Structures are given as C-alpha cells and as structure tokens.
Amino acid sequence: MKSRSLRAAVLTGSAAVAGLAAGAAHAQSSVTLYGIMDAGIEYTNHAAPEGGSSVKLKSGNKNTSRWGLRGVEDLGGGLKAVFRLESGIDLANGAFDDGPDSIFARRATVGLKGKWGELTLGRNYTVTYDYLLPFDPMGYAQNYSWASSSMATGGRKDGMFTRSSNAVRYDGEFSGFK
C-alpha cells in the first residue's frame, strides 16, 4: 500500500514537472541587436585661416548612427515583457554620442505588451516625434528635418521634443486607429 502511494506521488509529481516544462518550452524570448551606421567623407575647402582644406570621416551624415538592443519575453496568456535600449555612436572615434553622463539616452524602456496594447516606462519617443515627423518631407534625416534637427530648436540636441525621460507611454489600436 505504501509502495502504491509512493508511486502515485512520484507519477503525479513527474506529470506536474512535465507540464511546467512544456509551458516553459512554449514560451519564446528573443533579443535583437539593431542599428544604423551612417558615415561619409567630409571635404572642406578653406577650412583653416591660411586657406587649407580638410578631409575627414563624418559620422551621421544623413541620420544619427546608433545601435540598440530590443527584447521580448513571452509570459504566457498573450502577455509579453518588452525592453529597448538604444544609444547614439560616433563612428569616427567609437564614443557614445549621447552625452557624457548617459549611455542609452536615445531610448531606455521596459514594459508589457498584450492584446490591449503596449505600456512602456522610461526614456522614450514623444507623441510629437511619432505623429508629426512622418509628415516631414525630409523624414527622419536629422540634418534636414525641421522636427528633429538641433538647428530648428536653437541648438538643443533633442530636437523638437523628440524624447522624454521618466515617461509612461501607452500605445494601442482602437478600431484600426493607432
């Protein structure tokens, strides 16, 4: 009798572990490395007072060079944990292009995503960036766009309210509208 109870307990425990393992095997996670590396050669005539010229590598000719990590972890039941870390990089010297005190100043978010939409927390793009910039004829090219150019905002590097720190952001779709 004792042997039969022990076998039943072992079988029940094994079935429970197998069920948990199957659920864990079903959950998907991924981390993606992405980026834009935009470089060119810049030639400047009369670059010095004595009239000389200069040739140098220019990082971010049309777009800011950047790299980032984005990830997703399936939590089950249609719920996913998401994160994104994005940093500017100067290809001429390999330095971070986000300022002296930050690494991921372009984006640093963590959040949850489900059928209801996505909720993220951290440093993120603003509504201005997402909904005005697509109508800019120069697109996302930071040196030409009125919305993202530091020239359009009196030298502020963040452009026209491009990003916001300590942001709480919700993105959802309602009857086909985003």
How would DSSP label each residue in 132-153?
A: HGGG-TTTT-TTT-TTT-SGGG
Q: What is the pLDDT of residue 155?
A: 47
The per-type count for the chain, helices as H runs and strands as E runs, is 2, 8
Q: What percent of the chain has pLDDT over 90?
A: 29
pLDDT of residue 135: 73
DSSP run (H or E) holding 98: none
Q: What is the pTM of this model?
A: 0.69
pLDDT tens figures, 12-63: 444 444 444 444 445 689 999 999 998 888 888 887 777 788 888 888 777 7
Residue ranges of domains in the chain, CATH in brackets: 30-171 (2.40.160.10)
Q: Higher confidence at residue 175 or residue 164?
A: 164
CA distance 149 to 114: 34
Q: What is the pLDDT of residue 173?
A: 80
| pLDDT tens-place string over residues 122-135 | 999 888 777 776 77
Residue 92 makes CB contacts below 8 A (sequence gap 6+) with 39, 56, 57, 58, 59
pLDDT at 170: 94
Confidence bin at 144 (pLDDT 50/70/90): low
